[in-house]
Amino acid sequence: MKPFFKVATVKQAVAQIREFAPVASEPVSLVQATGRILAEDIISTIDVPDFARSTMDGYAVQAASTFGASEQNPALFVLKESVSMGQAPDILIFPSTAARIPTGGMMPRGSDSVVMVEHTELVDDDTVEVYRSTAPGQHVVGVGEDIRRGDAVLTRGTKIRPQEAGLLAALGVHEARVFKRPRIGIVSTGDEIVAPDETPAPGQIRDINTYALSGLILQTGAEPVLLGLVRDDLDALTQKCAQALDACDMLLISGGSSVGARDYTVQALSSLKDARIVFHGVSISPGKPTIIGTAAGKPVFGLPGNAVSAMVVFMILVKPAIEQIGGLDPAGQRNLRIPARLSRNLSSAQGRTDYVRVRLIPKTDGLWAEPILGKSGLIHTMVKADGLVEIDSHTEGLDQGALTEVILI
Amino acid sequence: MKPFFKVATVKQAVAQIREFAPVASEPVSLVQATGRILAEDIISTIDVPDFARSTMDGYAVQAASTFGASEQNPALFVLKESVSMGQAPDILIFPSTAARIPTGGMMPRGSDSVVMVEHTELVDDDTVEVYRSTAPGQHVVGVGEDIRRGDAVLTRGTKIRPQEAGLLAALGVHEARVFKRPRIGIVSTGDEIVAPDETPAPGQIRDINTYALSGLILQTGAEPVLLGLVRDDLDALTQKCAQALDACDMLLISGGSSVGARDYTVQALSSLKDARIVFHGVSISPGKPTIIGTAAGKPVFGLPGNAVSAMVVFMILVKPAIEQIGGLDPAGQRNLRIPARLSRNLSSAQGRTDYVRVRLIPKTDGLWAEPILGKSGLIHTMVKADGLVEIDSHTEGLDQGALTEVILI
């Protein structure tokens, strides 16, 4: 029986993707944490810093003793012993007493501010002149001023950047719980496909998709699992997909662009455990013959065999799906589209979301997006491109000079 | 003898960085190539495709036989045997003969175009009606139309994105020569620093820089080499730096923000083999106490101990230096700054390049950059930030509403 073929809009496809469940979590040491997604909320159990610190080389004083000080009328201070880095000073600061303190040093009891060394002069071993007044708290970071005990500093689903890794280090979180890197299986199908180290016979071409897709998977922070080439053979494809689902968290089947091969992909997917083909076709160009479904509780994508189409569908649909199962909170994601003006008119069919490859050209009046000419299926057009311009399904085209947002690729 | 202290502008520092020599190269398999920098020019030795291919499911024909065809006046074609995927068809197409062909199939001799299956109807097993005329070359990718034999397709110094990996696969380059990942040593210094899994005594703080810097190094495509903590002790620091230079391609010494410790960093660096301190101080804020030099022919950076300053200096100076020794061609780099309007006035001292942390706020009239309040040295300000706004050294400040470019962090 022929399955029911439902074509999705890009919006419907993305809504479906948001329902995919996340993978499990694992602990990871802080040096490996950058790029991973937090699987726990982080609440600080300490104040950072947990002692008042100087932010300058200078003298710790009571600010009140400096009021009115100037070059003409310096304030005199009696020197106590100096503060040493990394040690709690055993000093008490009174009015008109001062202690030499390095940047990062712990403020001695009784002091409330630091006079920069540039605004002082040593008179003798026991006396320093101060030429400027300082205010309470000046050149000091107070207890908990960076992070307060009990602060909810990071939430589950946050991507750990270097600064978040640094923050975790400051909190003493030397191991963080993160989502596992999703394992994404790639099966490349087609009777015409040979591996890159083979010489294609007439009518054959080398496998591009395995390499382009594994690169995209790596860029998305996931782990590509290369499952190799499969002929257009239903049994072989079904068996490979079943194996793949055991080993992976998501499955990409690329190829099957011809009508017969497309049917194989649907049939192979349909015969898997708990298979559900959600969408057969997406109104996206390039990339219409895309299949979205689930099997054994895991997302499966049938991607076009053409490398350019497969890459565009990856960027628009598979990447959000990997981020979804990888635990990334979509609310925390930043808009990375670059505004640029179109260098020429672009036409588009209504009812279809188009992605046009463009080169970014910096000019004196800002960035311009120049559409790449050439037939849409050619890989060199992706190599020449810096990004994609989206033309939404309600638009018939974009005019020269129109302000667009470029998705970097 | 006190060394001559030369403070650099950001521009002078970047010019110096452009003189650093690249690391050696190594072969890498295509699945590992994404993110690496090509160390060779790639000239295609083949045409891609090396046979004319159909881009549609349909019928291979001679276009001239379809001229004038319409729904009312279909053109009749005699069917030859079908073209199979991955095989050279042993068929000759004459006027008014056609062969069924799948997307990606090899065009049979004598044919020059493809009629889409949607514009045809089978009359019987041997005859097909065509309802639309096609033009020579339509729905066909010709020999070498994607890449021509002899084309210089990629140049040394190009960063391999997924599409470049795909292109190399298409060319049969299953192993590419790339620059080695630069090994970047990190030494964190300071009597006040303890590891994140230790409990700091009063006056001590946890090491943030090792973790923030190693994350930044990973993001830049290089390999962090963690060399651990060193007390403010000249002998220990000198010995650690000498070890590090043996094991690494570049050395980052973070810490030594206090005057005495800064001197240790300079002295330790100066005592290394072929040491040359090029700049002692950069007119950048935050990050002024930055040291740039070379030793044993390798770049060395003394970075501020404050984590925020160290991260800003990394992004503005160390990242380009890593890319330089990593072989990246600066001409091939894209401008990844995001235009946004400032939400409030920012003041700045002339003669110094300022980097202000901002949050990006999407509004109906475009993106706004909102400066993050709070003392500049606090790590939480980096966590709240999406990027940095540069205020160049000739500018006293930027007005609310001014269009700025945000460096994403």
- φ/ψ of A46, rounded to 5, equals -140, 165
**What average pLDDT does this structure show over A389-408?**
92
Contact of A110 with A80, CB cutoff 8 Å: no
Return d(Cα A292, Cα A278) in angstroms, integer.
6
CA B228 to chain centre: 28
Is B51 in Cβ contact with A201 (below 8 Å)? no
Return d(Cα A324, Cα A321) in angstroms, integer.
5
Q: ipTM for the complex?
A: 0.94
**What average pLDDT does this structure show over B122-141?**
96
Beta strands in A245-352 (DSSP E): 250-254, 276-280, 284-285, 291-295, 298-303, 337-342, 346-347
pLDDT of A2 strictly over 50: no
Q: How many CA atoms lie within 13 A of B152 on its CB side?
A: 5
Closest-approach residue (CA) in chain A for B29: A211
Smallest Cα distance from A135 to chain B, Å: 15
Preferred mutation among B186, B210, B211 to probe A, highest tally of A CBs within 10 A = B211
The pLDDT value given to residue A221: 96
CA A338 to chain centre: 16
Return d(Cα A56, Cα A81) in angstroms, integer.
17
Is B199 in Cβ contact with A380 (below 8 Å)? no
Q: Which two tokens stand for residue B162?
A: 């997924």
Closest-approach residue (CA) in chain B for A167: B379
User: Closest Cα to residue B171, out of A390, A227, A205?
Assistant: A205
In three-state secondary structure terms, A285 is strand
pLDDT tens-digit map of A81-92: 999 999 999 999
Return d(Cα B109, Cα B93) in angstroms, integer.
6
CA angle at B48 for the pair B42 and B50, rounded to the nearest 5°: 130
Closest-approach residue (CA) in chain A for B48: A205
Of B103, B174, B335, the CB nearest to A257: B103
* C-alpha dist (Å) from residue A378 to A311, B26, B48, B115: 12, 29, 9, 20
CA B407 to chain centre: 14
The pLDDT value given to residue A257: 58
Residue type, A236: A
Closest-approach residue (CA) in chain B for A362: B335
User: Closest Cα to residue A311, out of B164, B153, B162?
Assistant: B162
**What average pLDDT does this structure show over A107-126?**
97
Does B189 or B374 have the greater pLDDT score? B189
Burial class (CB in 10 A: 0-12, 13-18, 19+), B34: buried
pLDDT tens-digit map of B64-123: 999 999 999 999 999 999 999 999 999 999 999 999 999 999 999 999 999 999 999 999
All residues of chain B having their beta carbon less than 8 Å from the beta carbon of residue A261 are: 85, 102
Is B31 in Cβ contact with A202 (below 8 Å)? no
Eight-class DSSP state of B118: G
Smallest Cα distance from A274 to chain B, Å: 31
Measured over the CA atoms of residue A345, residue A349, residue A350 and residue A352, the dihedral's sign is negative
pTM comes to 0.95
Contact of A115 with A66, CB cutoff 8 Å: yes
The pLDDT value given to residue B373: 84
Return d(Cα B381, Cα A141) in angstroms, integer.
14
Of B105, B212, B375, the CB nearest to A163: B212
Contact of A156 with A33, CB cutoff 8 Å: no
**Domain boundaries of chain A, sorted by first residue:** 10-24+182-332, 31-48+147-179, 53-141, 337-408
**What average pLDDT does this structure show over B229-253?**
94
pLDDT of A287 strictly over 50: yes
**B152, containing H or E segment:** strand B152-154
In three-state secondary structure terms, B1 is coil
Contact of B304 with B259, CB cutoff 8 Å: no
**What average pLDDT does this structure show over A244-256?**
93
**B212, containing H or E segment:** helix B209-219
Instruction: Give the fold, CATH level 3, of A10-24+182-332.
Output: Molybdenum Cofactor Biosythetic Enzyme; Chain A (3.40.980)
Q: If you classify domain B337-408 with CATH, what class do you get?
A: mainly beta
Instruction: Give the fold, CATH level 3, of A53-141.
Output: Molybdopterin biosynthesis moeA protein; domain 3 (2.170.190)
All residues of chain A having their beta carbon less than 8 Å from the beta carbon of residue B207 are: 169
* C-alpha dist (Å) from residue B399 to A339, B286, B394: 21, 20, 15
The pLDDT value given to residue B255: 86
Residue in the block written with tokens 């419907």: A12
Contact of B240 with B253, CB cutoff 8 Å: no
pLDDT tens-digit map of A9-26: 999 999 999 999 999 999
**What average pLDDT does this structure show over B138-152?**
97
pLDDT of A286 strictly over 50: yes
Contact of A290 with A256, CB cutoff 8 Å: no
Confidence of residue B264 (pLDDT cuts 50, 70, 90): confident
**Average pLDDT of every residue of chain A:** 93
Burial class (CB in 10 A: 0-12, 13-18, 19+), B331: exposed
All residues of chain A having their beta carbon less than 8 Å from the beta carbon of residue B172 are: 196-197, 199, 206
All residues of chain B having their beta carbon less than 8 Å from the beta carbon of residue A339 are: 339, 366-367
**What average pLDDT does this structure show over B355-371?**
91
Confidence of residue B376 (pLDDT cuts 50, 70, 90): confident
Return d(Cα A339, Cα A325) in angstroms, integer.
29
B12: Cβ contacts below 8 Å, ≥ 6 apart: B279
C-beta atoms surrounding B141 within 10 Å: 20
Confidence of residue B226 (pLDDT cuts 50, 70, 90): very high
Return d(Cα A359, Cα A381) in angstroms, integer.
10
Preferred mutation among B28, B91, B103 to probe A, highest tally of A CBs within 10 A = B103
pLDDT of B4 strictly over 70: no
* C-alpha dist (Å) from residue B42 to A223, B31, B164: 28, 17, 11
B10-24+180-332 is a CATH 3.10.580.10 domain: no
Rg (C-alpha) for chain A, rounded Å, is 31
Closest-approach residue (CA) in chain A for B33: A215
All residues of chain B having their beta carbon less than 8 Å from the beta carbon of residue A383 are: 153-154, 163-164, 167
Return d(Cα A313, Cα A282) in angstroms, integer.
9
Contact of A128 with A115, CB cutoff 8 Å: no
pLDDT tens-digit map of B13-47: 999 999 999 999 999 999 999 999 999 999 999 99
User: Closest Cα to residue B334, out of A277, A361, A136, A290?
Assistant: A361
Residue type, A348: S
Burial class (CB in 10 A: 0-12, 13-18, 19+), B271: middle
Return d(Cα B149, Cα B47) in angstroms, integer.
5
Closest-approach residue (CA) in chain A for B106: A203
All residues of chain B having their beta carbon less than 8 Å from the beta carbon of residue A145 are: 375, 378
Dmax over CA atoms of chain B, in Å, equals 99
Is A154 in Cβ contact with B196 (below 8 Å)? no
Rg (C-alpha) for chain B, rounded Å, is 31
In three-state secondary structure terms, B341 is strand
Percent of chain A with pLDDT over 70: 97
The DSSP bridge pattern shows strands A193-194 and A205-206 to be parallel
CA angle at A188 for the pair A4 and B28, rounded to the nearest 5°: 150
- φ/ψ of B185, rounded to 5, equals -80, 140
pLDDT tens-digit map of A342-366: 999 999 888 899 999 999 998 888 8
Closest-approach residue (CA) in chain B for A311: B163
CA A200 to chain centre: 38
Closest-approach residue (CA) in chain B for A308: B163
**What average pLDDT does this structure show over B225-242?**
94
Q: What is the 3-state secondary structure (H, E, C) of A78-112?
A: EECCCCCCCCCCCCECCCCEEEEECCCCECCECCC
Q: Which two tokens stand for residue B96?
A: 């008014």
The pLDDT value given to residue B14: 95
Contact of A60 with A107, CB cutoff 8 Å: yes
One of 3.90.105.10, 3.50.50.60, 3.30.300.30, 3.40.50.300 is the CATH number of A31-48+147-179, namely: 3.90.105.10
Tell me the DSSP string of A207-231: --HHHHHHHHHHHTT-EEEEEEEE-
Return d(Cα B72, Cα B74) in angstroms, integer.
6
Is A408 in Cβ contact with B85 (below 8 Å)? no
All residues of chain B having their beta carbon less than 8 Å from the beta carbon of residue A386 are: 334
Is A202 in Cβ contact with B51 (below 8 Å)? yes
Measured over the CA atoms of residue A376, residue A381, residue A383 and residue A384, the dihedral's sign is negative
Confidence of residue B1 (pLDDT cuts 50, 70, 90): very low
Confidence of residue A293 (pLDDT cuts 50, 70, 90): very high
Return d(Cα A63, Cα A58) in angstroms, integer.
13
CA B247 to chain centre: 25
All residues of chain B having their beta carbon less than 8 Å from the beta carbon of residue A201 are: 86, 88
Is B163 in Cβ contact with A204 (below 8 Å)? no
pLDDT tens-digit map of A139-167: 999 999 999 999 999 999 999 999 999 99
Smallest Cα distance from B242 to chain A, Å: 23
Q: Which two tokens stand for residue A203?
A: 């009518």
pLDDT tens-digit map of B267-318: 998 999 899 999 999 999 999 989 999 999 999 999 999 999 999 999 999 9
Return d(Cα A70, Cα A186) in angstroms, integer.
73
B25-48+145-179 is a CATH 3.90.105.10 domain: yes
The pLDDT value given to residue B5: 63
Is B197 in Cβ contact with A172 (below 8 Å)? yes
